[in-house]
């Protein structure tokens, strides 16, 4: 079975997050690594291929690739970005981390700041959080009435359709970490001076809303997985499986896009090179 087929959320389906195992070793998936060492070697190889294909995408300059990352805290959004995209030329690969919207952003519709950050032709754009927060954290914390967030699934599908129709290939990843593994990581992080500076009491408090978050994620991925912008549920309890799986789907996506170097615009023979 192909990796993408195993992890993709079928369009129009009634997907349950609980049907995806956060600790899935991906056994039986063609090419899946079986050890951490194998996974790291495969990840490095993928990064090299991605870097090469990104050069072609940049040269071709007709399409873009948008990667959307969503997850509970400590599931590894930052880690996926660092491991899968360090090694890719930052000229042509931009990360946008969506934080709490500013006052100005709140004065606009929720897709305003998102549209602004969509990658231009030739580039890879990575969203660390995204418009999906507007149907996840906004729903869990009841920041807008239910009828407002419920209307957003269709709006998001239409928006992503617009992007796809204009040359933006979209792949969305939910990094699926288990409740127990998240707790372990947060406690480890709290004890690590290299990492605990970014923690606050809210990180643990949010855990009390775990079921509400899972319900929100479930609806988001089920209602907004489409052929042109599929969601993938990535097993995230093992970091090496998680990183390899994302890099593999990104690689396969770029390979299927098969960007081509353009032909020279002029006949070289007509160029006066005497200067």
- The reply on whether position 68 binds its own copies by CB under 8 A is no
Shortest distance, position 274 Cβ to its own copies, whole Å: 8
Q: What DSSP letter does each residue of 32-84 carry, written as one string? A: --SSHHHHHHHHHHHHHHHHHHHHHHHHH-S-EEEEEEEESTTSSHHHHHHHH
Nearer to its own copies, 3 or 124 (CB): 124
Residue from 28, 165, 208, 227 touching its own copies (CB under 8 A): that is 208
Residues in 164-183 that interact with its own copies by CB under 8 A: 183
- The reply on whether position 128 binds its own copies by CB under 8 A is yes
- The reply on whether position 43 binds its own copies by CB under 8 A is no
Query: Cα–Cα distance between 56 and 141 in angstroms, integer?
Result: 43
Shortest distance, position 163 Cβ to its own copies, whole Å: 20
Scanning 75-169, the segments in alpha helix (DSSP H) are: 77-85, 103-106, 112-117, 137-140, 146-165
Shortest distance, position 221 Cβ to its own copies, whole Å: 23
| Angle between helix 36-60 and helix 239-257 axes, rounded to 10 deg | 30
Residue from 85, 173, 217, 244 touching its own copies (CB under 8 A): that is 85
- The reply on whether position 88 binds its own copies by CB under 8 A is yes
- The reply on whether position 271 binds its own copies by CB under 8 A is yes
Query: Cα–Cα distance between 71 and 85 in angstroms, integer?
Result: 18
Quick one: tokens of 72? 């509970």
Look-up of token digits 């079975």: 1
Query: Cα–Cα distance between 176 and 21 in angstroms, integer?
Result: 8
Nearer to its own copies, 92 or 230 (CB): 92
- The reply on whether position 204 binds its own copies by CB under 8 A is yes
Nearer to its own copies, 161 or 207 (CB): 207
| Angle between helix 210-223 and helix 146-165 axes, rounded to 10 deg | 40
- The reply on whether position 261 binds its own copies by CB under 8 A is yes
Q: In what helix (H) or strand (E) does residue 187 lie, and over which residues does it extend? A: helix 179-190
Nearer to its own copies, 129 or 150 (CB): 129
Q: Helix or strand or coil: residue 267?
A: coil
Nearest one of 65, 114, 101 to 85, comparing CA atoms: 65
Nearer to its own copies, 11 or 79 (CB): 79
Q: How many residues bind its own copies (CB under 8 A)?
A: 50
Nearer to its own copies, 19 or 272 (CB): 272
Specify whether the CB–CB gap between 125 and 117 falls below 8 A: yes
Within 10 A of 108 (CB to CB), how many other CB atoms are there? Answer: 13
Residue from 4, 11, 49, 78 touching its own copies (CB under 8 A): that is 78
Which of these segments, 150-158, 170-178, 221-229, 259-267, binds its own copies (CB under 8 A)? 259-267
Nearer to its own copies, 78 or 212 (CB): 78
Residues in touch with its own copies (CB under 8 A): 51, 59, 78, 81-82, 85-95, 97, 126, 128, 183, 186-187, 190-191, 193-194, 196-201, 204-208, 261-266, 268, 270-275
């Amino acid at each position: 079975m192909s990796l993408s087929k195993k992890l993709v959320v079928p369009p129009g389906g009634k997907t349950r997050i609980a049907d995806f195992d956060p600790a899935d070793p991906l056994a039986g998936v063609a090419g899946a690594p079986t050890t951490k060492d194998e996974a790291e070697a495969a990840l490095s190889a993928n990064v090299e291929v991605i870097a090469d294909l990104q050069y072609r995408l940049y040269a071709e300059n007709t399409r873009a690739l948008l990667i959307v990352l969503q997850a509970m805290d400590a599931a590894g959004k930052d880690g996926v970005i660092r491991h899968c995209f360090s090694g890719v030329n930052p000229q042509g690969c931009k990360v946008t981390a969506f934080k709490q919207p500013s006052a100005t952003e709140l004065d606009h519709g929720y897709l305003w700041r998102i549209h602004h950050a969509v990658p231009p032709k030739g580039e890879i754009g990575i969203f660390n959080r995204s418009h999906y927060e507007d149907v996840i954290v906004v729903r869990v914390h009841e920041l807008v009435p239910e009828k407002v967030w419920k209307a957003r699934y269709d709006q998001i599908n239409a928006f992503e359709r617009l992007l796809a129709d204009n040359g933006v290939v979209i792949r969305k990843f939910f990094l699926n970490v288990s409740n127990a593994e998240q707790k372990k990581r947060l406690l480890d992080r709290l004890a690590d001076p290299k990492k605990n500076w970014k923690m606050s009491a809210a990180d643990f408090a949010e855990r009390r809303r775990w079921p509400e978050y899972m319900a929100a994620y479930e609806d988001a991925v089920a209602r907004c997985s489409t052929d042109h912008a599929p969601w993938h549920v990535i097993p995230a309890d093992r970091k090496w499986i998680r990183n390899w799986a994302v890099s593999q789907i990104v690689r396969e996506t770029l390979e299927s896009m098969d960007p081509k170097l353009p032909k020279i615009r002029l006949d070289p023979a007509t160029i006066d090179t005497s200067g």
